[in-house]
Amino acid sequence: MSRSIVRQSKFRHVFGQPVKTEQGYDDIRVSKVTWDSSFCAVNPKFLAVIVESSGGGAFLVLPLSKMGRLDKNHPLVTGHAGPVLDIDWCPHNDNILASGSEDCTAMVWQFPDQMGTRPISEPIVVLEGHSKRVGIITWHPTTRNILLTAGSDNLIIIWNVGTGEPLITMDDHPDLIYNVCWNRNGSLFCTTCKDRRLRVCDPRKREVVAERMAPHEGIRPMRAIFTRDGNLFTTGFTRMSQRELGLWDPTNFEEPIALLELDTSNGVLLPYYDPDTNMVYLCGKGDSSIRYFEITDEPPYVHYLSTFSSKEPQRGMGFMPKRGVDVSKCEIARLYKLHDKKCEPIAMTVPRKSDLFQDDLYPDTAGPDPALEPEEWLEGRDEDPILQSMRDGYVPPKSRELKVAKKNVLDSRPTTRRSMSSSMPYVLMHPHTITDAGV
């Protein structure tokens, strides 16, 4: 009886391909600040990169279509008084981004689809609550207007950006927080810390519900992310300073599900996770390669797939949400690699002969609609992301206006533009939203 030795997986042959030179973004002076964040954030409309600037901190926001050499008149976003350390696009509105800085504040910005030429210095809301630099920014995955910030004061603050008010403050960490990641429905988040502990926190109970001392024995920084199954994927270092990755069950932290040693490089491995394919892409700062793995239920649980290698080391990396990839080219992920002076998109593709839609590669993915309002989440409700089909490719939604009011939930109101045919039907989608019906 013959038995297959090779593991069956449709992602075994995924390969990385950089775009042509003219489809990259040139003349971008990437920030040289010493902080282990990705320095880059991307969504289906915009690319944002933290850049060098004199006097304060700045970042650049480019429409994805503005490829090639950067126009020297293109405006910077210059509202922070100190270097910008982290940026993150809102998952529920592609025109809204949050930033954290050494000036101890986080700011929320709204960008028009068509950028002007004047520097942008007025955020729509400033979040002041940290006493030291704000190095981590991450939006709630399913609830409108909920933003988490973590600072060097070892505090985690969860904000309602619609009112500009802090909802929850947690001070459970005795040392510098390295990273924070929400789980799929936003009921929990995990953290790694300089005290070498991996923690799982319930923000609404304001308590640590699970923790593990030294999942990696080395003293260098760790990273942790939630997988779609609720397990934790971690990167860190062994006692001999070899880079290592692990998979853990937070309900049983005694033994890892999997533990793999990689190499002896110095850079912290930043994990980028795709819950639809259960693949994780590891990008080390200073590395010139991207390794990718598939997480499954079968031993050894974390399966090495391949490595994308290039000559230039990466300064940072952006990861496109799944709804922004090109389904017609069987692209399952797109990463935006930062060099010293440019940003280079890299498409991760599954080779297929057919031109038809490959539904086995593209299950329904998280769409831009929030599943909960802030009050519902605070009362204890949890909802998985609202999914959308990838079959028709991605069509960017019209820009939605962001209104900030004290004691009032953020209102998403699109600017309704009539189509060429005035006989198009209109469908009521939301108490405040009227949109064109799909034909």
Residues 213-218 have a mean pLDDT of 96
Residue with tokens 């204890």: 380
Structure confidence at residue 405 (pLDDT): 61
Residue 95 has pLDDT above 50, yes or no: yes
Residue 414 has pLDDT above 70, yes or no: no
SS3 at position 80:
strand
337-352 per-position pLDDT tens digit: 999 999 999 999 999 9
**Third-level CATH fold of 15-374:** Methylamine Dehydrogenase; Chain H (2.130.10)
- Distance, in Å, from the CA atom of 343 to the CA atom of 66, rounded to the nearest integer, reads 12
358 or 227, higher pLDDT: 227
Mean pLDDT estimate for the chain: 90
* Domain limits, the chain: 15-374
| pLDDT confidence tier of residue 411, bands split at 50, 70 and 90 | low
Residue 390 has pLDDT above 60, yes or no: yes
1-13 per-position pLDDT tens digit: 445 567 889 999 9
Residues 375-402 have a mean pLDDT of 84
Residue 425 has pLDDT above 90, yes or no: no
Q: What is the pTM of this model?
A: 0.88
Residues 170-181 have a mean pLDDT of 98
362-374 per-position pLDDT tens digit: 999 999 999 999 9
425 or 107, higher pLDDT: 107
